[in-house]
């Protein structure tokens, strides 16, 4: 079973409270790059999760990537969601609240692996 990229993005945006599409704080391209980073980190932290090579999401492929599936078992979805949210919050860690939220999401990621 695979994980839908759209599902991951939806859950990440809910955590980020970034759901108003006319004014996303984190663009789809930014979130997709963080998903890619999260997959690579998951492969490193838990080698049992390695079922495919992550797709390198780039600006020009955002539309295609949002309809794609990740070749990972669904049991890893929560880990990918929490780690992606942590990475997004970390992009603006000068904001102390975002730093705290990034740490919380990282803790949830570590619990889920």
Q: What is the pTM of this model?
A: 0.86
For the chain, the structural domain boundaries read 3-112
The model's pLDDT over 49-102, given as tens digits with 9 standing for 90+, comes to: 876 555 555 555 555 567 788 878 889 999 999 999 999 999 986 778 999 999
Helix 5-16 vs helix 28-45: angle between axes, to the nearest 10 degrees?
Answer: 100
Q: How far is CA 101 from CA 16, 42, 59, in A?
A: 9, 19, 26
Q: Report which of 21, 43, 34, 30 is spatially closest to residue 105, judged by C-alpha positions.
A: 34
CB contact at 8 A, 8 and 67: no
């Amino acid at each position: 079973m695979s994980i839908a990229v759209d599902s991951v993005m939806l859950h990440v945006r809910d955590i980020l409270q970034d759901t108003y599409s006319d004014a996303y704080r984190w663009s789809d391209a930014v979130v997709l790059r963080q998903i890619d980073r999260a997959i690579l980190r998951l492969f490193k932290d838990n080698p049992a999760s390695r079922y495919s090579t992550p797709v390198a999401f780039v600006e020009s492929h955002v539309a295609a990537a949002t309809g794609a599936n990740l070749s990972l078992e669904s049991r890893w979805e929560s880990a990918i969601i929490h780690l992606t949210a942590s990475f997004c919050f970390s992009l603006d860690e000068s904001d102390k609240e975002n730093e705290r939220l990034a740490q919380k999401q990282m803790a949830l990621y570590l619990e889920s692996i």
